Amino acid sequence: MAEQEKAIDVEKLLKNKLKSVSIGTLEASIGKVISGLLGEDYKCTIGEVKYTLFSGADFHIKVELSYSPEK
């Protein structure tokens, strides 16, 4: 007997939780991860965000080496 397919929770798909995360938090988090991977300080800037219907988002990310004169 084949496994029954799981029902898709349409309500969950339509409620885009990404809208509750601030752009500043996303930028800081992405910059922190890249800095950890490369061992240098990087910053991230996110351009215009377009939230998609099924709990996604489209945006442009700019990542660049941070300049810190004290380092």
Query: pLDDT digit string (tens) for 22-71?
Result: 999 999 999 999 999 999 999 999 999 999 888 899 999 999 999 766 65
Question: Which has more confidence, 2 or 11?
Answer: 11
Q: In the 3-class helix/strand/coil scheme, how is the chain assigned residue by residue? A: CCCCCCCCCHHHHHCCHHHHCCHHHHHHHHHHHHHHHHCCCEEEEECCCEEECCCEEECCEEEEECCCCCC
Q: Where are the domains of the chain?
A: 24-71
pTM: 0.72
- pLDDT value, residue 39: 95
pLDDT at 16 over 80: yes
Question: Which has more confidence, 17 or 40?
Answer: 40
